[in-house]
Homo-oligomer: A and B are copies of this chain.
Amino acid sequence: MPGKTRVVSFGVGVIGSAVVKTMVEKKSDWIDIVGAIDSDPSKTGKDLGVVAGLDKSCGVLVSNKIERTLAETKPDIVVHTTSSYLSSVEQQLIDIATQGVDIVSSCEELSYASVVDQKIANELDSIAKENGVSILGTGINPGFVMDALPIALTAPCISINSIHVARQMNAATRRIPFQKKIGAGMKPDEFKDALSSGKISGHVGLSQSISMLADSIGWKLEQIEVRTPEPVILDRKVSSDWIAVEAGMVAGTRQKALGIILGKFAITYDFAAYIGAPEEFDAVEISGNPTVSFKSNPCINGDAGTIAMLINMIPRVLEAPPGLLTMADLRLPRAANMPLSV
């Protein structure tokens, strides 16, 4: 189909499947899914439609061969959704980039890779430039509500004293892996153990978002302090469709992160996700001249928001110069080629 954007889905897990479903059902006027890659033996060789849970065939088989799939399908871009961690995706991204294909990825650490591992970030940037490809890590958070949006909201400011960014969500509105990831339903001791063992790792992206914000406005942070996630324990029973949380048990988590300049908390982040949260919001409060203080109601849904960001940033990545890019490097984000759903 000439003129359409040719996409390969790399990773057909929960997010990858939802992206595929959205593309097939809502974006087929401008997106053509030409290939799919996943290392899971239970998925390879099967039709993407079946693996992604669509009610129809995609005419594309899931393959575990990166190089061959890209060579045969010649995509414009890979939508990559395999892991939150830079070290886990590094080789995958190199394999894609060396085939000359642009990448938009849900990998949280990739959203501002330099703060995770400057060496890997430099390597990816070099390989991207050598191969003329653009690489972006994005999503709802990191990617939008706690970085791109606060950055944009600093634009009408003459001066800034401090920036506070908060996101609070009722985890009951999210998919079950997310609810488990934040410890919902655990006993307080279990939560502690899960933190120690790495079963719960807190929200991935806070240091990335803070760094992107500070660097964008020219603030040199002395330190970024990402605090240990705290359990949210309520004195009443709350529940989602999947998990019942008795009073005194863990309903979810709250995590703070700080950007410090001259010993002051110049940037403060507060991320809370728990079942039964009475209010859902995203908030950006910029103390400065003028004051800029926005709050949403509800918070932007994380699952739909991440899928949308991965799809909507495709045109921005395709038009961008080569390199390892961030949301702050690209043109103003927007819903891409939105069909008339009025």
Contacts and interface: CB of A to CB of B under 8 A. Distances in A.
B152 A152 contact: yes
Interface residues of A, number: 66
A311 interface: yes
Contact of A155 (B219, B291, B301, B335): B335
Contact of A159 (B145, B160, B339): B339
A261 B340 CA distance: 8
B266 A332 contact: no
Contact of A156 (B26, B158, B304): B304
Contacts of A332: 148, 151-152, 216, 327-333
Interface in A231-283: 261-262, 264, 266, 282
Contact of A158 (B153, B217, B219, B311): B311
Contacts of A217: 334-338
A213 B293 CA distance: 22
A33 to B, nearest CB: 16
A295 B295 contact: yes
Contact of A290 (B288, B301, B334): B301
Interface of A: 22, 26, 140, 144-145, 148-149, 151-162, 216-220, 261-262, 264, 266, 282, 288-298, 300-301, 304-305, 307-309, 311-313, 327-342
